[in-house]
Amino acid sequence: MKSLNLKEKIDYITSILSKYNQTNQTNLKIIIKGSAILSTKNLIDREPNDIDICFVNNENLQVRREFISYLTKIGGFEILRSDDNLITIFNKQFGNVEFILFEYIDTRWIENAGDNIYFTNIDYLLVGKITMLTYVMSSYYLHSDKEQKINNTISDLKLINEATKVLDNFDIDNYKSVLLNLINNSTLIYVYYKYDKFLWWEESYNSFKVEKDELKATFNKIKTIFARFSNDKDVLNYIRFNSRLISNFHSNLIDTMLKKYSLISPPGNEKILVQNLFDKYSDKNGYYEIFKGASNVFINAHCDEVMGLIVDNKIYSLGTLNWIDKCKINIFDDAGNLIAKNLDIRTENNYVFSPEKNVKINRPKALIQNNAFINENSHKNIYYCASNVEPIVQNFNFTSRNNDNKINVFLLNWLCKNDELKSNVILTKSEEVYLNGAKSLKNTIKSNYFINLETSQYEKWQNQGLLIRIADFFTTYKPIITNKIMNILDKYSIPFSNYFGSGSSDITELSQNEYSITLALPCDLIHSMNSSICIFNIIYMLQAIFIIDKELNNGK
């Protein structure tokens, strides 16, 4: 069977993509990157070993995986490797085709090459080729071709420089945003594969013996570029932060979440969670003060979660909660102690114009089906209840009974314990019950900036990126703070989407502040029995809080 040349391979993949989109009514777009593009631009003189493909961030992970399966079947490929992030397929005509599912490339670094197909531009190719050396030269690269791979990379960069003089005239300010984009992608990969640090240029790499004399000058230029990047304050601080994030993510943050996420945090009694999570806090009117910084910037997350309240053995909602019959519940006393597990419930209709409403006595949302519990417990007792779903990490998703808004409380806890923030950190109470905490808060706190962290239901929750709440039915659009936050995220190539909210949030009560805004994590469901968030978006939120804190506090 005749091998295809590179153009034929790309044309074939493009044709299969077009058929897939037509058949499934999707708009999936792919990005071809790496040495294949350098070869098509005649910037290197060797045949690439494989074709590297990632995706434009417009369709979710499930669609991406379905396309790869479709291509594998139609093209007669075999799967050589498959995990949540990396899928490698092979046939004799193509060789290897490698798909990286978690990689996000900002649209500034890609160029259109046809119908739903893009190539990475020279800026991304160049900085990507340079930074790849930090992996190939590290102890994490265990393949036998290590020296050959290093020399091939240096040789490629030599040829690129001969054609473009880009290494000779390298200005780090022109490439810093590209590097920050690559740092984000590397962080996702290192967290997924459980590396213990961020891989960056090490002093020992400077003594690597280049095998060919003609490559020595190029290697010296590469070392100079790394030295310049390492002297940049933004780059150095960001690498330091991400290295700590990588080394602590599973052993500290996720471990804490798995152990403590099941603690309840009912409106009005959030202390059950707060006292078990934070070493220090002050209980204020309407909020908890977690960290008091020498700053006029406030970062907030509401710390209550929607729950059920059992009164006379009937279940009522504290906040808006979407009960379902198939759900099982756990029951807690008012100190947060678990007293019953895995009880069945039956949901009840709660009509607005019911007789009970007319006399201001609400109908229950659900009834407990377990007679043993009802018989054993006095009708005078009052309990909390919630879905019995336990926190779990699976397929690079974090799933729990309800992520609104406990997830951001845990992220702020990690950032505060690692001394990453200069801003004031607070947690509002009773947001789920008519924003009661924020109503008290707005008269006591004066801030230049108020950054509110939330969780929002979003159809494309599996896409990379955070959500910026532009406005809603209760708050107006604030262009100054919105543009400022968008510019900060763009500077660091953190993906985001703007959205118009449908409900209220703490910002509703703080809308008189022109510099208040909500940044949200996308999830599949809120106010729910079972909710999932992509872990790469949890990482993006940690990065976003870190850089927003630094930028709003003047980089100090």
Per-residue pLDDT of the chain (556 residues; tens, 9 = 90+): 567 788 899 999 999 999 999 999 999 999 999 999 999 999 988 888 899 999 999 999 999 999 999 999 999 999 999 999 999 999 998 899 999 999 999 999 999 999 999 999 999 999 999 999 999 999 999 988 999 999 999 999 999 999 999 999 999 999 999 999 999 999 999 999 999 999 999 999 999 989 889 999 999 999 999 999 999 999 999 999 999 999 999 999 999 999 999 999 999 999 999 999 999 999 999 999 999 988 999 999 999 999 999 998 889 999 888 888 778 999 999 999 999 999 999 888 755 545 544 444 567 888 888 778 877 776 778 999 999 999 999 999 999 999 999 999 999 999 999 999 999 999 999 998 888 888 888 878 877 899 999 999 999 999 999 999 998 888 889 999 999 999 999 999 999 999 998 777 888 888 778 899 999 999 999 998 999 999 999 999 999 999 999 999 985 5
Write the pLDDT tens digit of every residue in 467-477.
999 988 888 89
Pairing verdict, β 78-82 and 50-55: unpaired
- In the chain, list all ranges with CATH 3.40.630.10: 249-304+397-552
CATH 3.30.70.100 fits 1-120, yes or no: no
pTM of the complete model: 0.95
Q: Are 497 and 441 in contact (CB under 8 A)?
A: no
What is the predicted pLDDT for the residue at 417?
95
DSSP codes, 267-294: TT-THHHHHHH-SS-EE-SSEEEEE--S
Question: Which superfamily is assigned to 249-304+397-552 in CATH?
Answer: Zn peptidases (3.40.630.10)
Write the single-letter amino acid at 70. Answer: Y
- In the chain, list all ranges with CATH 3.30.460.40: 1-120
Say how far apart CA 415 and CA 427 lie, in whole Å.
14
β-bridge partners, 425: 291, 299
Instruction: Compute φ and ψ for 499, nearest 5 degrees.
Output: -145, 155
What is the predicted pLDDT for the residue at 359?
44
DSSP codes, 303-332: ----EEEEETTEEEEES-----TT-EEEEE
Q: Are 422 and 298 in contact (CB under 8 A)?
A: no
